[in-house]
Amino acid sequence: MENFNAQIAEILEVDSVDPGEELASFECWDSLTILSIIALAGESYNVTLSAAEVNNAVTVGGLQDLIKSKMS
């Protein structure tokens, strides 16, 4: 997961992200962004996420923790 922050930053159309940043605070946060994160989780980490799980993650770090928890 070493490239996770860079991957999320690319999806969110920003230069970088901080684990404490709230996902909903990003300008491009919408349903298509959520779908992109779901696709990233599946393609890069072999993890299946729902839109509700992504929304409930709240922060970038929470999203990373969610994906990690499903990888085990």
Alpha helices in 1-72 (DSSP H): 4-11, 31-45, 51-57, 60-71
Q: Is the pLDDT of residue 72 over 80?
A: no
Cβ proximity of 29 and 51 under 8 Å: no
Residue extents of the structural domains in the chain: 4-71
- For the entire predicted model, the pTM comes to 0.93
CATH class of the 4-71 domain in this structure: mainly alpha
Residue-wise pLDDT for 26-54, tens only, equals 999 999 999 999 999 999 999 999 999 99
